[in-house]
Structure 1
Amino acid sequence: MEDKEVLKLVGARIRALRKEKGLSQESLGEKGGFHFSYIGQIERGEKNVSLLNIAKIANALDVNLIQLFAYVNEEIKVTKHEAELNEILTLLRKSNPQKIKLAKNIVKEILNNE
């Protein structure tokens, strides 16, 4: 895989997550501490963004770093179902152990009633 291809894949993934969250480039930039034009350059694969800035973007998108590297292209597509599961995991990771246990019991109850 060529360098430029990696930049374009990560940029496309950031764009997809940004749109999924209903954010403009400007609002994502504000949340992450970047100028909107920098976000646009990243999304187009024009900037070789640092790992620290990738982490800031992930935080601004309220996703984990791994989600930024789940590329969107013809071969690997993140379905709506997978995106919703990832969102649930992100919420659980931010919760305390009691809330995680409660969520686990609720999910078990829902699945047992099918």
Structure 2
Amino acid sequence: MENYSNKYDLRSIGKRIREEREKFGLSREDFAEIVGLSDYYIGQIERGERQMSLPVLIKMAGLLRLSLDYLIFGENYYSAEHLRESLSDKQKQKADCLEEIVELLKRCSKKELEMIKKLLKVILPYLNKFDSMP
């Protein structure tokens, strides 16, 4: 079995966390609040000065929408094509739609994203009613 202990680097993990946090437009303080840790602790993690527990690692990966293999090793060991092959046709259509929405949202300003979020909160309950109609 391959020895993975030499393949990960706390500084690189911290750098990936910081980069992804910044892509979401989150300050360290805001991210710390979401994760439930102090901003000082998050700073230590991002600088590679501190090793986090597995539950914290999993929580951060989930919040940042990262795979654990990317977060730890800096690369995904399963390609998107490999994962896509395991999806049903309906799941593939949903994934395609979500990818298109994400690309559109990437072009929006923070103010526009806030407005879209508010609109979604208003209209989603009504859309769900239409799905349940015969």
* Other-structure match for 1:30: 33
- Aligned-partner SS, 1:62: coil
The aligned length equals 85
Distance 1:36 1:17 in 2: 16
Which one of the candidate residues 61, 64, 73 is aligned to 1:61? 64
Distance 2:45 2:36 in 1: 14
Comparing both chains, which one has the higher relative contact order based on Cα–Cα distances under 8 Å and sequence gaps of 6 or more?
1
Distance 1:104 1:19 in 2: 24
Asked if the contact 1:28/1:61 (under 8 Å) is kept, the reply is no
Query: Over aligned residues, Cα RMSD in angstroms?
Result: 3.4
- Aligned-partner SS, 1:69: helix
Runs of 4+ off more than 6 Å: none
* Other-structure match for 1:112: none
- Aligned-partner SS, 1:29: helix
* Structure 1: runs of 5 or more not aligned: 77-85, 107-114
* Other-structure match for 2:13: 10
User: What's the TM-score, normalizing by structure 2?
Assistant: 0.50
Percent identity, please: 37
Of structures 1 and 2, the larger Rg is shown by 2
